[in-house]
Amino acid sequence: MLIDIATAVPPYKVDQATAAEELKKRMAPDSRAAQRLIDMAAAQSGIISRYIVIPDAEKDRNENFYSDNSGYVIPETKKRMDEYERWSKYLAKEAVEKLFKNTGVSPSEIERIITVSCTGFYAPGLDHYIAEEFNIPLSVKRTNIGFMGCAASIIGFNSVLEALALEKESNILLISCEICSLHLQFTPSRDNILSNMIFADGAAAVLFSNSKELSRNARLELVNTQSVLFPSSTEFMGWKIGNTGFEMILSSDLPKIILSEAVPAVVKMLESMGVKKESVKHWALHPGGRAILDSLQKGLCLSDDEMQPSRTVLKNYGNLSSVSILFVLREILDSSQLETGDILCALAFGPGLSMELALFKVL
């Protein structure tokens, strides 16, 4: 059972117009062609604003990450990872604090922690930090899901489902945290421009449980999960660790592939679980970008109302990688008319190209 979701964002908020102007100065001060691509990416993103951990776009900033007294700088990977550790602890702690406060659950009741991220690493990791910070029992079971992209939280759902099936009564804390703004790349390639204009930062914490006491307050039942890897698709999405942060691979053909390959796979996956597409009342679609949501809406024949939660998250937060789907689920819980027995389908894409699907029932 999904009991509740809590979210957290960094203190710096940047609108797309400001982000575009800042990136033009850094990426393409002498290239009108690249500047036009930046403006086009901003205009077509479906994003109004995003939250980031870097203060560089603030009007009255006292510090910068991508510049110093000598001008613009390109931080090495180590500096980016140092900031990742600092901010991931900050944001994850805020989300977990909210979750415990909202649910009334004691940290002493947590028996498993699942951490999700693809924008940084350190050890001991975020799971160890959260366990110590909140005095979670030393016997807590831990799983870290790393470098699996935007679909990683649903991969975490799969681990949740397996754990709940094995353990009679268990309380599971899932934490997803992504700090994408630490990986801005300044070579004015199409991949870099698109990545710089859509990705953002944030964290979310989710409480799952099959205990009798907590299940009384559950919002959703996690029914099933499924995965699919698309053949000959490794060039469509991926990450590489470079000397100056993580380098994104993001094909312009991705929306076409989603329409032609992923949509039929969604229908097939649902049918294998005994669910017709038309029976799904609520859709939590990963807001990877406006074009991706457009392809899913067209292929799945969804109404504007059904797309509203995903488009709202994209508009107000950008693409938070693995955290996004949790923000969308939070938006559905807050704003949608949920009725007992409704079916909810969550869907996200990851490197490979891969797709992850989770099926929920409203309680």
Residues 132, 176: Cα–Cα separation, whole Å? 18
Are the CB atoms for 122 and 84 separated by under 8 Å?
Answer: yes
pLDDT tens digits, residue range 148-196?
A: 999 999 999 999 999 999 887 899 999 999 999 999 999 999 889 999 9
The fraction of the chain above a pLDDT of 90, given in percent, is 79
Q: What angle do CA 323, 325, 327 make, to 5 degrees?
A: 75
Are the CB atoms for 270 and 277 separated by under 8 Å?
Answer: yes
Average pLDDT value for residue range 233-262: 86
Q: In what order do the strands lie in the sheet with 171-179?
A: 141-146, 112-117, 171-179, 201-209, 2-8, 220-229, 354-362, 343-350, 280-285
Cβ-Cβ contacts under 8 Å for 110 (sequence gap 6 or more) = 134, 136, 137, 140, 171, 172, 173
**In the predicted structure, residue 62 carries a pLDDT above the cut 80:** no
**In the predicted structure, residue 109 carries a pLDDT above the cut 90:** yes
Amino acid identity, position 294: D
Helix/strand/coil for 25: helix
**In the predicted structure, residue 255 carries a pLDDT above the cut 90:** no
* Every domain of the chain and the residues it spans: 220-362
Nearest to 154 by CA among 332, 328, 296: 328
Question: How do strand 12-15 and strand 49-52 relate by DSSP bridges?
Answer: antiparallel
pLDDT greater at residue 61 or residue 311: 311
Average pLDDT value for residue range 307-320: 98
Average pLDDT value for residue range 55-65: 79
pLDDT of residue 57: 77
Q: List alpha helices for the chain, DSSP H.
A: 16-27, 32-43, 77-103, 126-133, 152-166, 190-198, 212-215, 254-257, 263-272, 290-300, 304-317, 324-335
pLDDT greater at residue 348 or residue 253: 348
Per-residue pLDDT band at 239 (split at 50, 70, 90): confident
Residues 286, 149: Cα–Cα separation, whole Å? 11
**In the predicted structure, residue 133 carries a pLDDT above the cut 90:** yes
Per-residue pLDDT band at 134 (split at 50, 70, 90): very high
Highest mean pLDDT among 16-25, 90-99, 249-258: 90-99
Cβ-Cβ contacts under 8 Å for 315 (sequence gap 6 or more) = 46, 47, 48
Residues 337, 322: Cα–Cα separation, whole Å? 25
Length of the chain: 363
Average pLDDT value for residue range 82-93: 98
pLDDT of residue 64: 86
Place of tokens 């090495």: 76
**In the predicted structure, residue 70 carries a pLDDT above the cut 80:** no
At the top level of CATH, the class of 220-362 is alpha beta
pLDDT tens digits, residue range 275-292?
A: 999 999 999 999 999 999
pLDDT of residue 249: 83
Average pLDDT of the chain is 93
Q: Is the pTM of this model over 0.85?
A: yes
Least confident range of 42-51, 97-106, 228-237: 228-237
pLDDT of residue 251: 79
How far CA 297 is from CA of 120, 228, 287, 300, in Å, comes to: 32, 20, 12, 5
Residues 172, 164: Cα–Cα separation, whole Å? 9
Average pLDDT value for residue range 213-235: 90
Average pLDDT value for residue range 105-122: 96
Helices and strands, number each (H, E), in the chain: 12, 15
Place of tokens 């421009």: 193
Helix/strand/coil for 161: helix
